[in-house]
Structure 1
C-alpha cells in the first residue's frame, strides 16, 4: 500500500496533469472524472496518513525516558503533540482545495471516518500512558528527577540517577495526564481545527473522557497503595499494649501510632512533591480523607470512654486534624467532626487547658516534621 507521502506526490502530479488538460479545452465530463479521482486520492491520503500516525503513536511508549522536569512532566506529551502536528503538516497541501476542487471533508462518511480515526489516535496515546503506568519495575532501570531546589533560576536543575518505583511511575503518568488535559489535548484540537477537520468537539470530548477515566483509575491506585497501609496501622497502633479507653492514665502527649501515621503521610508528601508539586494537594487531601474516616470509625466503635480516655482521644484527633488542616476537605472535616462527637464533652476548664498545653507541646516537638503541612506563603510582591 502506498504511504501518505507517496499519495501526496501522486496527488501533486495529478493536479499538474489536470491543469495541463484544462488548458487543452478537454470536455468537462472527462475533466470531472480526473477531479473525482483526485478527490478520492486526497481522502485516501488523509486516511493513510492518520493510520500511519496511529502506528507511530503506538511506539511512543518505547520512547519514554522518565526524565522529569521541574513541572513534573516528561517529554512524552510534547512528543505526542509534535507527532500530530507533523502528520497534519504533511497533509497541508492535500487538504487545501485547488481551483475547482471540493473539500476532502464534503462527504459525511469521510467526516465520520476521519473523526473516528482522530479519536483512535488520541485513545492510543491514552493506552500508551496506561501501559507505562503498569510497567514492571525491572523494565525501568534509571530515571532523572529534576529537583527544584529553592530557586531554579539561581541553581538550575539537579538531576539524579535513581531507580523508579511503581508508585513514582504512577505519579509521573498522573502528572502527564494533568498536563495533557489542561494543555496538549486542547492544543491538538486547535491543530485539527486549523486544518478544517470536522467533529472536533466530539474528538475532544471522547478523548478527554478516556484520559480522565485513566487519570482517575491511576489516582485511585496510587491512593490505595499509599493510604491503605497508613489506615491499616491505626487500629493496631491505638490498642498497642492492651490500651483501653475506659481504663487509661491521664494523657501526657500524643501517642506514637499517630506520630507514625503522620510520618508516613509526610513520606507520601515527599514522594509526590519530588515529582509534581501540583499533585500534592490532590493526593494529600485523599490520604487525609481515608485516615480521618478510619479514625472516625474507630472512635465510633468504642463503647465508652473514661475521662482520661476521652481526653486522650480528643488530643489525638485534634492533633491530626490541626496538623493536616491545609489538606482538609468537606469529607475529612465531617469525619473529624463525627470522631469528636463520639467523645464525651470536656467537663472542666482544667481539662481544656491540659488539652491545649498538650496540643502545643506536640506541635512544638514535631515542628520540623510538620512544616510540609503548612500552607505555602504567598509570593513576595516586588516593591
Structure 2
C-alpha cells in the first residue's frame, strides 16, 4: 500500500463547466489504470481525466458551482487530500459568443456601488489551443516581446497577430507535450468549424426560419409606409404640425397664458419645495445657535456649500451671502468663547474643531494654547495679589497689638501663606493638565487647522518655562520669608506646603513635560526643604542664646562631674528636637528629588556650620554666666572667716538657688561645661546617627576644645579669686606677734599651719559641694600654690630651723591626695634649706608630734582627703 495522493496545485484556479484543469501534486498514481477516481468540487470528472505522470493529471471540470477540493483516488494509495481549491461558476453568453438566439444590444443595466459591467471590447476569447492561460507571474516580459517581434502583436483580433508572441506571452512555461496536444485540439476545432456551419443550421432551423420571417415582415412594412407617405414624408408632416400649432394658439391663447402663469407659480412653489433646505437655512442657523447646537450649523453649512457653492442663480447667491454673514458672526462668537477663561479642555477642543470645520482664517488651536498660557500667568498673579491683600488685612487688624507687644508676625508660617501655596500649586497643576494635552494634540496634527503653520515647539517650551518660573518666583516669595511660630505649627505648615508642592510636581511628572520646567519645580522643593532645615536650626540657635534667661542655678542632678543645672539637658533637647523635625519634615526625598544631605552638598555644609554655631553659642552662654557677674563677693583679705560658717548653712545656701554665690555659680558652670563635653556631646552625636544624618565631627571637636578651654579659664579664675587670698594669709599668720626662733624647741605645729589646713578644708568643702569628684582639680591647684608660697617664705627666712621640717611634714600629711609633682618639688626645696636632724631622739620627737597632729586632726585630714579621683 503506497502513500495517499496529495494535490498541491491547480491551473487555472477557477472556470465554468468544462474548463481544462491541470492538477499537480504527489503520488497521483503509478499508471493510467491506477487512477480510479477524480472529483472536482464534488463532481465526478474521471471520464475526462488524462493521466500524465505521478505528479500531473489533466481533466475537465463538471457542472460545479462554488469552491471545493480536488480529490484523487488511486488503487495504490487510496483516497487523497487537497491543499488547494477550485472555484466553478456559470458563464454568461457574451456578444461575440456563438449562439443561436438573438442577443439584445440594449444599454446594460446600472450596477450598484459604482461598478460598471464589462464592455464588449473587453471580452477576452478563450485560448485557441484549449489550454489554460498562465497567470501574470508566468508571463513573458512585454519589453522583450517588443524587441523580439517589433511589428507583431499577441492579440488574436489584430491584423499583425504573431503566434510566437502569443505563445511566449501565454504559454512560456507550458510543456512541449501540452503544446502538441493544443495543436491537435486547434486542428480538430478548425476542421469542426468547416463542417459545423451546416450542422449549426440543421440544429437551429427553427430559429433561422423565424429570423427570416421577421426580415420579410420588416420589408413589407417598409414598402407599405413608402406607398402611403412617399419617399420623403417629413416636410408635409412639419407643415401639418405648424398649422396645428397656430390653430391651437388662436383657440387657446387665453387659456395658455393662464396656464403659463400657473406653470410659473407651480415652478416657483416647486422650487421652494425642492430647495426648502436652502431657504430655511438662515432661520435654522439662528435657532441652532441659540440652542448651542453648533454641530448642526456646521453640517448644514457644509451641505449647502457643497450643493450651491458654485451656483449662478442670483436668488441663491443672495441667500448664500446672508448665510455667510451669519457664519462669520458665529466664527467670532466661537473664537471669543474659545479664548474666554476659565473653560474646560473638552469644550475648548469642541470650539477649535468647529472653527476648523468653518474654515476659520488662523490657527485656532495655537490661539487656544496661547490663551491658556496667558490665563495661567494671570491666574498666578491673581492668586498672589489675593493672598497678599488678605495678609495685609489681617496684619492691619493685628498691627496695633503687635506694635505694642513687639511681636513678629507669622509670615511664611501663617495660614494665609499656606493657603496661597496650596492654591498656586493647584492652579499650576490644573492648568498645565489642560494646556499640555491640548499642545500634544496640536503637534500631533489632530487640531491643526493650518497645514502650513510653523513649528512652534520652541515657543511652547518657552511658554511652559515662563509659567513654571513665575510659579517658582511666587513660591519663593511665599515660603522662604521670615516669621515666627511654634515648633508644632512650623512642622505642620512645612509638611502641608511640601505636600502641596510635591503633589504639583507629581502631576507635572505624569504629563511627561520637558526636563527644564520639571527641574525648576524640583529646585523650589529642594530650596524649601533647605529653608525648613535652616528654620529649625535657627530656632534651636535662638533658644540656646536665650538660655541665660532660663538659668535659675537650680541643681537638677548631681552627676560624676558635679552639680548640673538644666542647661546641658536643654541644649540636648533643643538640638534633638531640631534634628527630629528636620528628619520628619524635610529629610525624606520625594519622587525624583535630590537627597537633602548628600556627601559634599551645600545643605550638609550648612547643617554642620549651623550646628557648630549652636554649640559655640552654648559655650558663650556658659562663659557669660560663669565669668561676667557683678556680685563677685570673695573674701580677699582673710579666708579664716570661712571657718565660722557652718556646714549646714553652706548646704542651705547651695540648696537655695536664689542665694547662690558667684563662686558657686562659677563652679556650677564648670560642672555644666564638663558634663556637656563628656556626656551631652556624645549623646548629640548619637542622635545624628539615630536620624541617619552625617555626624558633625568638626563641630563636635571644636565645641569640645572650646568647653575644655572654658573649664581651664574657670579654674584659673577660681584660683585667682580664691587661692591668691588664701596664700596671702600665710606670711602674716606666720609672723603674727613675734619673730619665730629657729633654735626654739618644737613641740607642736605652728598656728599658721592649722590656719592653712582649715582654709584648705573650707575651700575643699565649697568645691566638693558643687563639683563632687571633679573638685580635686581646684584643691590640687590651690595646694600647689600654698607649697610654692611656703618655699618662697623658707627661702626668704634669715635661718631655717626644725620648725620648717615639721611644717613640710604636716603639710604633706594634710594634702597627701592633692600634691602634684611640682608641689613635691617645692617642699623638697624647703627641706633642702633645713639642717638635718642630728640624732634619733630628734627624729622620734618629730614623729611623735606628727602622730599627735594626725590623731588630733583626724577628722579634718579625712575631710580634706575624702576624694581620691582626679578628673
Normalising by structure 1, report the TM-score. 0.86
Q: Do 1:58 and 1:125's aligned partners in 2 also have CA atoms closer than 8 Å? A: yes
Matches of 1:161 and 1:97, distance apart in 2 = 48
Q: Do 2:554 and 2:657's aligned partners in 1 also have CA atoms closer than 8 Å? A: no
Q: Do 2:509 and 2:518's aligned partners in 1 also have CA atoms closer than 8 Å? A: yes
Matches of 2:503 and 2:834, distance apart in 1 = 87
**1:70 matched to which residue of 2?**
558
Structure with bigger gyration radius = 2
Residues 255-288 of structure 1 deviation map (CA, whole Å, 9 limit, x = unaligned): 1111111111111111112122122211111111
Matches of 1:108 and 1:295, distance apart in 2 = 61
Q: Do 2:764 and 2:775's aligned partners in 1 also have CA atoms closer than 8 Å? A: yes
**2:458 matched to which residue of 1?**
none
Q: Do 1:137 and 1:164's aligned partners in 2 also have CA atoms closer than 8 Å? A: no
**1:104 matched to which residue of 2?**
596
**1:14 matched to which residue of 2?**
501
- Out of 748, 771, 775, the position equivalent to 1:276 is 771
**2:829 matched to which residue of 1?**
338
Residues 130-155 of structure 1 deviation map (CA, whole Å, 9 limit, x = unaligned): 121133349xxxxxxxxxx9xxxxxx
Q: Cα distance, 1:197 vs. partner?
A: 4.4
Q: Do 2:498 and 2:525's aligned partners in 1 also have CA atoms closer than 8 Å? A: yes
- Out of 704, 710, 726, the position equivalent to 1:208 is 704
How do 1:260-271 residues align onto structure 2 when only pairs under 5 Å count? 260-271=755-766
Q: What secondary structure sits across from 1:97 in the alignment? A: coil
How do 1:1-383 residues align onto structure 2 when only pairs under 5 Å count? 1-2=481-482, 5=491, 6-68=493-555, 69-71=557-559, 72-92=563-583, 93-106=585-598, 108-133=601-626, 134-137=628-631, 159-160=655-656, 163-198=659-694, 200-246=696-742, 248-305=743-800, 309=801, 311-375=802-866
Q: Do 1:39 and 1:102's aligned partners in 2 also have CA atoms closer than 8 Å? A: yes
Residues 20-77 of structure 1 deviation map (CA, whole Å, 9 limit, x = unaligned): 3323333333222211211111112222221222111111111112111332111110
Which shifted more, 330-339 or 351-360?
Answer: 330-339
Q: Point out where structure 1 has 5 or more consecutive residues left out of the alignment.
A: 139-148, 150-157, 379-383
Q: Do 2:575 and 2:684's aligned partners in 1 also have CA atoms closer than 8 Å? A: yes
Q: What secondary structure sits across from 1:221 in the alignment? A: helix
**1:141 matched to which residue of 2?**
none
Choose between structure 1 and 2: higher helix proportion: 1
Q: Do 1:77 and 1:184's aligned partners in 2 also have CA atoms closer than 8 Å? A: yes
Residues 224-247 of structure 1 deviation map (CA, whole Å, 9 limit, x = unaligned): 22211111111122222232454x
Residues 182-225 of structure 1 deviation map (CA, whole Å, 9 limit, x = unaligned): 01112222323444545611111111111111111011111222
Matches of 1:338 and 1:241, distance apart in 2 = 27
Which shifted more, 252-261 or 8-17?
Answer: 8-17
Matches of 1:376 and 1:278, distance apart in 2 = 6
Matches of 2:734 and 2:767, distance apart in 1 = 28
Matches of 1:376 and 1:70, distance apart in 2 = 15
**C-alpha distance 50-160 of structure 1, shift in aligned 2 (>3 A):** closer
Q: What secondary structure sits across from 1:70 in the alignment? A: strand
Matches of 2:744 and 2:753, distance apart in 1 = 18
Q: What secondary structure sits across from 2:597 in the alignment? A: coil
Q: Cα distance, 1:113 vs. partner?
A: 2.8
Matches of 1:204 and 1:324, distance apart in 2 = 37
**C-alpha distance 105-245 of structure 1, shift in aligned 2 (>3 A):** farther
Matches of 2:658 and 2:668, distance apart in 1 = 14
**C-alpha distance 162-30 of structure 1, shift in aligned 2 (>3 A):** closer
Matches of 1:91 and 1:108, distance apart in 2 = 16
Matches of 1:7 and 1:126, distance apart in 2 = 31
Q: Do 2:569 and 2:680's aligned partners in 1 also have CA atoms closer than 8 Å? A: yes
Matches of 1:50 and 1:375, distance apart in 2 = 44
Q: Do 1:95 and 1:195's aligned partners in 2 also have CA atoms closer than 8 Å? A: no
Task: Say how many residue pairs are matched.
Answer: 355
Normalising by structure 2, report the TM-score. 0.39
Q: Cα distance, 1:127 vs. partner?
A: 0.8
Matches of 1:161 and 1:176, distance apart in 2 = 15
Matches of 1:96 and 1:207, distance apart in 2 = 29
**C-alpha distance 56-102 of structure 1, shift in aligned 2 (>3 A):** same
Q: What secondary structure sits across from 2:817 in the alignment? A: helix
Q: Cα distance, 1:9 vs. partner?
A: 3.7
Matches of 2:657 and 2:705, distance apart in 1 = 35
RMSD over aligned Cα atoms: 2.4
Q: Do 2:526 and 2:593's aligned partners in 1 also have CA atoms closer than 8 Å? A: yes
Higher relative contact order (CA 8 A, sep 6+): 1
Matches of 2:531 and 2:815, distance apart in 1 = 58
Q: Do 2:689 and 2:695's aligned partners in 1 also have CA atoms closer than 8 Å? A: no
Q: Cα distance, 1:373 vs. partner?
A: 2.5
Matches of 2:519 and 2:717, distance apart in 1 = 59
Residues 335-381 of structure 1 deviation map (CA, whole Å, 9 limit, x = unaligned): 22222122111111111111101111111222222221335599xxx
